Every structure is written in C-alpha cells, then in structure tokens.
Structure 1
Amino acid sequence: MSSNVQFLIDNWVLVAAAVVSGALLLRQSLAGGAGQGISPDEAVRLMNREKAAVIDVCEPAEFAAGHVIGSRSIPLATLGSAQNLPANKEQPVIVVCASGIRATRAAAQLRKQGYAQAQVLRGGMKAWREAGLPVETGTKGKA
C-alpha cells in the first residue's frame, strides 16, 4: 500500500473533517452566504455619503412588515421589468431581502443590467434589525 493511502487511512478523521468543512464552505458560497455583501454600517455610510438607492426585493407582504426607510419595493420576480430602478446606473445600489439570499441573485441581475455598484446588504433585514437601525412598516416605499 502506498504511503499516501496509508496516511489517509491513519488520519481518516482529519480527512472527513476537511471534506465536511469544504462542503459547508461551498454550500455557503453557492447560496450567497452571509460572507458576501456589505454590513448594515457600510450600507448606512453609502446611503448618507453617496446617496445609495436601496432596493428591497422581498415580496410585498414582507416589505410591508418592515423595510429600510426610503427603500424601493421591487420584488425579485419583477426586477427584470421594473420601471422604478434608479435612472443613474453609476449610483450605488444596495439590494435587500429578508436574509440576503434573494438579494444576492438580484444584485447579480442588476449588475448584468449595468448597475456596476449593486451590492447586497449582508444578512438582509435580519442583520439591519439586529444592528438596531430604523425600520419602516407599510407599503409606502419609494416608487
């Protein structure tokens, strides 16, 4: 038996741990995991200093239950045909959903549409609320 195979047999626990760890990292990456995007603090800075537009891609009921103040409600399913996207494609855009997964897909779609500065709010509305930032309820988001 070669020394490489013997090493694998002798250290099967380490090999299994490495495989599981790699699989979890791959899963997180494919799902648009929490490691991607900008923090709530970075989002506030972009909103205040660079007038970033905030686009919430949640469903209307989720948006009504709570969203970033001044955000635009554009559900993910309607993003491709939305009329209320920012006119200036150079403007920073922060994309928000409940957890960040849908926002990751939406930001990629927006980048394909020419919004080079589309970024995801890492952790979504959950992270926004946990940071103690203000939340607006109702359906009166920007049109």
Structure 2
Amino acid sequence: MNLEELMAFFGRNPMLSMALAGITAALIYTEFARLFRGYKSLRPAELTGLINRENALVVDLRPIADFDKGHIPGAKNVQMSQFDPENKQLAPAKSLPVVLVCKTGMTAGGAAQRLKKAGFEKVYVLDGGIGGWQQADLPLAKGRG
C-alpha cells in the first residue's frame, strides 16, 4: 500500500480515520502521563523482590473488612479516608520504598501522587492491585496481620 492509496482510504472512511487519530492521541497522552506522574507501577513478582531486597513498606488502602479477608503479608492497612503522608505508619518511611495497594490499582495512583508531593523518594503502585497479586498465585495473609 502506498501513500496515495492510504490517503484515498482515509478519504472514503472519515469516521475510521477520526477514530484512529483519537486512539493514537490517547495512547500518546497516556504514555507521556505515565512518564511524568512521579511514581512507578510494579508487577507482583517485582514487589516480592522489593520487599526482600529493600524492606519496602506495603500500604493497603482497602477497607478494613477487605484487608482482614486477605492482604499481602506484612502490609499495613491505612484507610483511604484517613490517608495522610504524615501518618505515623508512613512518615518514618520517606526514604524507604513505599508500595501502595488497592483493589484494582486505580485508587492507589492518587495516594502515590500525594506521597511524592510530600517528599517520599521511592513510591510505587502495585499493578492490578490485590487482584493482580491473587492472579499471580501469591499468598495472602488473613486477619489484622
């Protein structure tokens, strides 16, 4: 297919052309936003390595009932409604890696941005949240842990 045929296709299919342009713009925006958000996403296997190598603090932002049903071993539960970077469990960890966990990985992004603004050096979000952890067949602890 040459450029002339491609231009003819776009001319005959304006809706497809606009959809392609929109999807391309959305992908570019998403990738640039990811570069400048200040925190990184971790896969479950990367989290286990970070816990073992660098004594990462895992903060579970889910409601206490969900936390009690199953959480990453060693995680601390901090309710999103009470989330504060100066929290007594969080403040001492400013130089440690801090990994935020929620149900799907979406809520933790906002909390991660707050930690970065408060001066935390190494902030991560668990990709896929606790659901991603479970899909990787990694163990959960029960109770208040």
- The question of a shared fold, defined as TM-score above 0.5 by the shorter chain, is answered with yes
- Segments of 5+ residues of structure 2 without an aligned counterpart are 1-6, 35-39
Give 2:19's aligned residue.
16
Q: CA deviation at 1:79?
A: 1.1
TM-score (norm 1): 0.78
Structure 2 residue corresponding to 1:68, chosen from 62, 69, 72: 72
Structure 1 window deviating more from structure 2 (51-60 vs 74-83): it is 74-83
Q: Provide the secondary structure at the position in 2 that maps to 1:68.
A: coil
Code of the residue aligned with 2:54 in structure 1: it is E
Q: Provide the secondary structure at the position in 2 that maps to 1:103.
A: helix
CA distance in 2, matches of 1:68, 1:122: 14
Structure 1 residue corresponding to 2:58, chosen from 54, 57, 68: 54
- The two structures, once aligned, show a CA RMSD in angstroms of 2.8
Q: CA deviation at 1:87?
A: 0.8
Q: CA deviation at 1:14?
A: 3.0
Contact 1:67-1:137 within 8 A present in 2 as well: yes
CA distance in 2, matches of 1:115, 1:44: 20
TM-score (norm 2): 0.77
Aligned pairs, number: 132
**Deviation by residue 1:49-74 (Cα, 9 ceiling, x = unmatched):** 01101000111112112110110000
Contact 2:83-2:111 within 8 A present in 1 as well: yes
CA distance in 1, matches of 2:93, 2:130: 25
CA distance in 2, matches of 1:63, 1:39: 20
**Deviation by residue 1:62-107 (Cα, 9 ceiling, x = unmatched):** 2112110110000111111632215131100111001001111111
Q: Provide the secondary structure at the position in 1 that maps to 2:42.
A: coil
CA distance in 2, matches of 1:8, 1:57: 47
Identity %: 33
Once the two structures are superposed, the pairs formed by residues 31-110 of structure 1 within 5 Å of their partners are 37-80=41-84, 82-110=87-115
Structure 1 window deviating more from structure 2 (60-69 vs 20-29): it is 20-29
Contact 2:57-2:93 within 8 A present in 1 as well: no
- Segments of 5+ residues of structure 1 without an aligned counterpart are 31-35
CA distance in 1, matches of 2:28, 2:80: 25
